[in-house]
Amino acid sequence: MMFERGLASMHAAKLTALAAAAGMTLLFGPETASAETVVKWLHLETVPAYLKQWEDIAAKYETEHPGVDVQLQFLENEAFKAKLPTLLQSDDAPHFFYSWGGGVLKQQAETGALKDLTEAMRADGGAWEKSYNPAAVKGFTFEDRIYAVPFKMGTISFFYNKELFQKGGVKAEDIKSWDDFLTAVKTKEAGITPIAGGGGDKWPLHFYWSYLVMRNGGQQVFEDAKNNEGEGFLHPAILKAGEQLAELGKLEPFQGGYLGANWPQTLGLFGDGKAAMILSFETTEATQRANSGDGKGLAPENIGRFPFPAVEGGAGAATDTLGGLNGWAVTKNAPPEALDFLRYLTNAENERLMASTGMIVPVAVGAEEGITNPLVRASADQLAASTWHQNYFDQDLGPSVGRVVNDASVEILSGQMSSEEGARMIQDARELE
């Protein structure tokens, strides 16, 4: 898996893959004797077919650039987040790594850990920068300086098990408002959990609070809170969002023990047909399959999708979207070959290829035509019609406030904290920054 660099290289790659499968961490292997330059790439990936696609792209690049050895390290999501801060300060730092952008990326840039990509992307009349959706580049730009290469966008929405909905007499097309959604949740069938919830990792549950804040308050209320203006996170619309979240929690919509369930377990629950819904990413069809008990999960034709519902009387629009803008941040000591590979990795041809397998909603200009998966296409169409696309709150607000957002979301949803107490905790964290 290190792309046919001899037995030693192949052995090192197998160890990397095994480490990823077991949730272990493994440092990058030594440079191979035949390579002049090693490019170290840190990513998170759990879908075997997608992992192979990354490797195939790297292998093709290596064939065309025999002096370069691209070394991939895949980590599980939580291991990635735990290990990255230490890696960035070490001599074993990757040359580029997966990024969610937002305040986390901004803070990494401020520490001096990242390479400023502005000049490279704006050279030759800005040809590289212009090869992407302008909104994608903007998401990785701070004070007119670019700190990551964009590669995909995404949006969070509900996915549902069509057979279970039919069994419960619930029609997804009728879920337009938050009240409609609560009515669907109340329609419980024996042995069926309404929603798969991952409270162990906390961040999966912050999607609910974030969307409710967006639907109740709209963009201006969130921007004011983010910038510590006006009433901040104590705005009435944000308090109402917390109250609605608490109302959902009182319905006990999640599986038993959900507060300890991590995200792979949550996806597996949905994939095993034990929960009717999951609030998740655009790649859910593939990830539920990879995490299911039999490795097959729900058949694609048994999975439906609908946007997070509107809140009646709220200032936000039903067309406002919450989701990711992901890219590759480059570390300060990365060799020029790392940038050259990134330009290749994210070109329209490769993005079109990744889109064709349902792997991404691409940002390279002209690559969107490659999307063939119906569920991914639905996400892409929703993004195309988005009136406000907001990055995940825990990423956009920076690491210190983001952690509090995740904590408060879980506490409010589980009834351990009131909406006002949670909002006050987030506001205090914001004022301390």
Q: In Å, what is the CA distance from 365 to each residue of 325, 336, 370?
A: 15, 24, 11
Matching residue, tokens 């069994």:
167
Query: Residue 195's beta-bridge partner residues?
Result: 254, 277
**Predicted pLDDT of residue 411:** 98
Give me the count of residues in the chain.
433
Q: Which of 105, 202, 195, 158 is nearest to 416 (CA)?
A: 202
**Predicted pLDDT of residue 4:** 29
Cα 196 to Cα 246: distance, rounded to the nearest angstrom: 17
SS3 state of residue 90: coil
Residue 19 tokens read as 């480490």
Cα 248 to Cα 8: distance, rounded to the nearest angstrom: 54
- C-alpha torsion 424→430→431→433, nearest 10: 150
pTM above 0.85, yes or no: no
Residue 271 tokens read as 């994939």
Q: What digits encode the pLDDT tens for the residues 46-71? A: 888 999 999 999 999 999 999 999 99
Q: Which of 244, 257, 249 is nearest to 415 (CA)?
A: 249
Three-state SS annotation for 167-195 = HHCCCHHHCCEHHHHHHHHHCCCCCCEEE
* CA-based end-to-end distance of the chain: 44
Question: Is residue 386 within 8 Å of 223, Cβ to Cβ?
Answer: no
| Helices 336-345, 48-64: crossing angle, 10 deg rounding | 120
**Predicted pLDDT of residue 270:** 98
Cα 386 to Cα 318: distance, rounded to the nearest angstrom: 9
Least confident of 23-32, 131-140, 261-270: 23-32
Asked if the model's pLDDT at residue 15 lies above 90, the reply is no
Q: What percent of the chain has pLDDT over 90?
A: 82
Q: What digits encode the pLDDT tens for the residues 69-123? A: 999 998 888 899 899 999 998 988 999 999 999 989 999 999 999 999 999 999 9
Backbone angles phi, psi at 322, to 5 degrees: -115, 135
Asked if the model's pLDDT at residue 200 lies above 80, the reply is yes
Sequence-distant (6+) residues with CB within 8 A of 207 are 156, 279, 322, 392
Asked if the model's pLDDT at residue 213 lies above 70, the reply is yes
Q: What digits encode the pLDDT tens for the residues 303-342? A: 999 999 999 999 999 999 999 999 999 999 999 999 999 9
| Helices 102-110, 399-413: crossing angle, 10 deg rounding | 150
SS3 state of residue 329: strand
181: Cα separation from own chain's centroid:
24
Cα 7 to Cα 353: distance, rounded to the nearest angstrom: 29
**Predicted pLDDT of residue 35:** 55
| Helices 178-186, 236-250: crossing angle, 10 deg rounding | 10
**Predicted pLDDT of residue 41:** 96
Q: Is 31 exposed, middle or buried (0-12, 13-18, 19+ CB in 10 A)?
A: middle
Sheet of 325-330, strand order: 68-74, 37-43, 96-99, 325-330, 148-153, 361-362
**Predicted pLDDT of residue 12:** 36
Question: Is residue 303 within 8 Å of 159, Cβ to Cβ?
Answer: yes
**Mean pLDDT taken over the chain:** 90
Cα 202 to Cα 407: distance, rounded to the nearest angstrom: 7
Residue 392 tokens read as 């995940």
Question: Is residue 347 within 8 Å of 362, Cβ to Cβ?
Answer: no
